């Protein structure tokens, strides 16, 4: 791979759902596993920090951008290997996967509908909703490690927990996964109900990163923030949603600093009023990344 394969100074606000972020020093779209391997090896060879980007639905980029390479995972193939068993590229839409599988009468991923993540991002964060988690239907994960080596990791070798996966602790990239679903007569009905409920209770059509805070064991973060009277709280262009208090939205001109400040204020006020420590689940991507 040559340096000219990478674009330069690509504005990251165009590639994340928050609409925040300056330019990336380098930017590359990987559409095949081999391209992902080559891109990671190139970054390692040139000692350039890299960040793997999916749909950008859980990222907060710095206003200055990213002083490294952003590798956009666009590996979006999908194949049904046998009844109920699907192999999906990490760049495939997780919401679309949930919708399509439910339409065919396969249950297990109905909750994915409406989650604006890629398959890779959902696995990385162990995304979940309605009492379900991404890991519950996984059979294996295709992974390219930080040396560019491809491997298939079976689920029994991976430890997942609430919004946590083993992929969060090291470099490399998720490039695909195999899901095992079960036949379910009302899968489509449940999937539609989930989407309709989300449309009624969550702010669609505005720039956000979804839920910002992890749910404590005592109650949902949204309910706690709402009880503290923080809906509508603003810092610059960043605002606590009036519809769902765990959504911090970009009202049109929010900066990274606005969002970081608002997150800090919400945490401080909730702690002061309830004694509860809220923890952010959004991935902050600093301008200068010290690790590769």
210: phi > 0 → left, psi -120 to 50 → alpha, else beta; which? left
Q: Which of 29, 110, 133, 281 is catalytic?
A: 281
In which region does residue 162 sit, left (phi positive, over 0), alpha (psi from -120 to 50) or beta (all else)? beta
Question: Active site residue: 29, 163, 239, 256, which one?
Answer: 163
- Rounded distance between C-alpha atoms, residue 118 and residue 208, angstroms: 16
Distance CA 84, CA 48 (A): 40
Identify whether 185 is a catalytic site residue: no
Q: Cβ–Cβ contacts within 10 Å for residue 34, how many?
A: 13
Here the contacts of 93-101 (C-beta below 8 Å, separation 24 or greater) are: 93/55, 93/118, 93/119, 94/118, 94/119, 94/121, 94/122, 94/127, 94/134, 97/179, 98/191, 99/191, 101/179, 101/181, 101/187
Active-site choice (211, 228, 239, 256): 211
Beta bridge partners of 80: 86
* Whole-angstrom distance, CA of residue 123 vs CA of residue 281: 14
Interior CA angle at 223 toward 272 and 193, to 5°?
A: 160
**Helix (H) or strand (E) run with residue 104 in it:** none
Active site residues: 163, 211, 281
């Amino acid at each position: 791979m040559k340096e000219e394969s990478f674009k330069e100074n690509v504005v990251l606000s165009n590639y994340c759902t928050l609409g925040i972020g300056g330019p990336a020093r380098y930017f590359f779209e990987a559409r095949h596993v081999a391209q992902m391997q080559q891109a990671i090896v190139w970054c390692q060879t040139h000692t350039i920090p890299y960040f793997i980007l999916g749909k950008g639905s859980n990222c907060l980029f710095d206003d200055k951008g990213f002083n490294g390479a952003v590798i956009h995972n666009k590996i979006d193939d999908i194949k049904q290997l046998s009844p109920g068993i699907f192999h999906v590229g990490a760049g495939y839409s997780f919401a679309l996967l949930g919708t399509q599988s439910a339409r065919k009468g396969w249950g297990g991923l109905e909750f994915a509908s409406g989650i604006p993540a890629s398959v890779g991002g959902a696995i990385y964060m162990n995304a979940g909703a309605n009492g379900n988690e991404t890991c519950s239907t996984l059979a294996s994960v295709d992974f390219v490690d930080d040396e560019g080596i491809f491997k298939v990791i079976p689920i029994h070798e991976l430890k997942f927990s609430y919004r946590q996966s083993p992929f969060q602790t090291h470099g490399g990239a998720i490039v695909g996964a195999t899901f095992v679903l079960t036949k379910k007569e009302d899968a489509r009905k449940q999937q539609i109900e989930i989407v309709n409920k989300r449309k009624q209770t969550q702010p669609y059509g505005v720039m956000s990163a979804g839920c910002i805070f992890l749910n404590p064991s005592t109650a949902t973060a949204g309910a706690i923030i709402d009880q503290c009277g923080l809906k509508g709280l603003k810092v610059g262009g960043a605002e606590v949603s009036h519809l769902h208090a765990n959504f911090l939205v970009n009202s049109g001109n929010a900066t990274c600093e606005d969002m970081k400040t608002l997150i800090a204020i919400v945490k401080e006020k909730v702690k002061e009023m309830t004694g509860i420590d809220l923890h952010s689940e959004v991935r902050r991507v600093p301008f200068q990344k010290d690790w590769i």
